[in-house]
Amino acid sequence: MLTVIFEQLSDAIVVLGEDGRMVYGNAVAAHMMGFDSPAALRASRPEDIWNRFEVLDDTGRPLPVDELPGRRVLRTGGTAGPFRIRYRDKRAGEERWTQLFTSTIRDDATGETLAVLQFRDVTQQERANDALQFLAEASAVLAGSLDYDETLSHLARLAVPRIADWCSVEMVTPDGSIRTLAVAHVDPEKVAMAHELGRRYPPDPNAEHGTALVIRTGRPELMADIPDELLEAVSPDPELLAILRDLGLRSSMSVPIKARGRTLGAINLVSAESGRRFDEQQLTLAEDLANRAAIAVDNAHLYRQATRAATELQTVLAQMSDAVLITDAEARVTFVNESVARLFGPIPIGSSVGSMPADVEILTPEDKPYPVDRLPTVLALHGEPVEGLIWKIRRKDGSVVVLATSAAAVKSPEGRVLGAVAVSRDITARFEFDRQKDDFLLSASHDLKNPLTLIKGVAQMLMMHAGRPGAVDANSFKDGLRRIDETASRMSRAINEMLDVSRIQMGRPIAIEPASTDLVELLRQAVDEQLAAQETVSVTVFSEVDSLRGEWDPLRLERVFANLLSNAVKFSPDGAEVVVRVAETGGETNEAVVSFTDRGVGIPQSDLPFVFEQFHRGHNVAGRIAGTGIGLAGSRQIVEQHGGTISVTSKEGEGSTFTLRLPLRAPRTEMRT
d(CA 621, CA 318): 38
Q: Among the residues of 211-279, which ranges form H helices?
A: 211-217, 228-234, 238-247
22-29: long-range contacts at Cβ-Cβ below 8 A with a sequence spacing of 24 or more?
22/46, 22/49, 23/114, 28/119, 29/119
Q: Are strands 577-584 and 538-543 parallel, antiparallel or unpaired?
A: parallel
d(CA 201, CA 477): 116
CA angle, 68 then 72 then 76, to 5° = 170
> Which range among 169-173, 233-237, 505-509 has the greatest average pLDDT?
169-173
Task: Give the model's pLDDT for residue 1.
Answer: 46
Question: 3-class DSSP state for residue 103?
Answer: strand
Residue 561 predicted with pLDDT over 90: yes
Query: What are 181-223's pLDDT values in tens digits?
Result: 999 999 999 999 988 888 888 877 888 888 889 999 999 999 9
Return the H-helix or E-strand segment holding 300.
helix 280-319
Question: In the structure, what pLDDT confidence band is assigned to residue 105 with cuts at 50, 70 and 90?
Answer: confident
Residue 100 predicted with pLDDT over 90: no
CA torsion sign for 74, 76, 78, 83 is negative
Amino acid in position 278: F
| Cβ neighbours for 593, distance < 8 A, ≥ 6 positions apart | 581, 582, 583, 584, 585, 659, 660, 661, 662
DSSP β-bridge partners for residue 409: 420
Residue 7 predicted with pLDDT over 70: no
287: Cα within 13 Å, side-chain hemisphere: 13
Question: Rounded to the nearest 5°, which phi and psi values hold at 448?
Answer: -85, -35
d(CA 634, CA 553): 14
Q: How far is CA 383 from CA 89, 552, 561, 605, in A?
A: 72, 65, 59, 44
Task: Give the model's pLDDT for residue 672.
Answer: 41
Q: Are strands 251-259 and 53-56 parallel, antiparallel or unpaired?
A: unpaired
DSSP β-bridge partners for residue 324: 423
Task: Give the model's pLDDT for residue 673.
Answer: 38
Query: What are 569-627's pLDDT values in tens digits?
Result: 988 999 899 999 999 988 777 899 999 999 998 998 888 888 888 766 666 666 556 55
d(CA 12, CA 413): 61
CA angle, 472 then 475 then 480, to 5° = 90
Task: Give the model's pLDDT for residue 499.
Answer: 63
DSSP letter, residue 512: -
Q: Return the number of other C-beta atoms located less than 10 Å from residue 435's C-beta.
A: 15
d(CA 452, CA 62): 120
Higher-confidence position of 105 and 648: 648
Q: Which of 660, 538, 653 is nearest to 596 (CA)?
A: 660
d(CA 204, CA 429): 68
| Across 15-24, 244-253, 255-264, 373-382, least confident range | 15-24
Mean pLDDT over the full length of the chain: 81
Cis before 509? omega within 30: no
Question: In the structure, what pLDDT confidence band is assigned to residue 442 with cuts at 50, 70 and 90?
Answer: low
* Domains of the chain, first to last: 2-121 (3.30.450.20), 128-303 (3.30.450.40), 322-426 (3.30.450.20), 427-673 (3.30.565.10)
Query: What are 266-281's pLDDT values in tens digits?
Result: 999 999 888 788 889 8
Contact, 432 vs 439, CB < 8 A?
no
Q: How far is CA 585 from CA 589, 592, 597, 629, 672, in A?
A: 8, 7, 19, 31, 33
Q: Which of 135, 495, 510 is nearest to 296 (CA)?
A: 135
* In the chain, % of residues over pLDDT 90: 19
Task: Give the model's pLDDT for residue 506.
Answer: 54
Query: What are 55-90's pLDDT values in tens digits?
Result: 877 666 787 877 778 788 888 877 777 888 877 777
DSSP 634-663: HHHHHHHHTT-EEEEEEETTTEEEEEEEEE
Say how many residues make up the chain: 673
d(CA 517, CA 437): 35
Q: What is the average per-residue pLDDT within 165-194? A: 90
Q: How far is CA 332 from CA 16, 239, 419, 421, 540, in A?
A: 79, 68, 9, 11, 64
Q: What is the average per-residue pLDDT within 523-544? A: 88
Task: Give the model's pLDDT for residue 590.
Answer: 87
| Across 37-51, 114-128, 422-436, 639-653, least confident range | 422-436
CA 618 distance to own-chain centroid: 41
* In the chain, % of residues over pLDDT 70: 82
Query: What are 327-378's pLDDT values in tens digits?
Result: 999 989 888 888 888 888 788 888 888 777 767 888 888 889 888 888 898 8
Model's pTM, two decimal places? 0.48
The string over 214-252, giving b where at least 16 C-beta atoms fall within 10 Å of a residue's C-beta and e elsewhere, is bbeeeebbbbbebeeebbeebbeeeeebeebeebebbbb
Amino acid in position 383: G
Contact, 550 vs 517, CB < 8 A?
yes
> Given phi > 0 = left and psi -120 to 50 = alpha, else beta, which region is 337?
beta
DSSP 416-463: -EEEEEEEEEE-HHHHHHHHHHHHHHHHHHHHHHHHHHHHHHHHHHHH
DSSP β-bridge partners for residue 493: none
Query: What are 455-474's pLDDT values in tens digits?
Result: 666 666 666 666 566 655 66
Task: Give the model's pLDDT for residue 413.
Answer: 85
Angle between helices 148-159 and 123-143 (to 10 degrees): 160
DSSP β-bridge partners for residue 402: 392
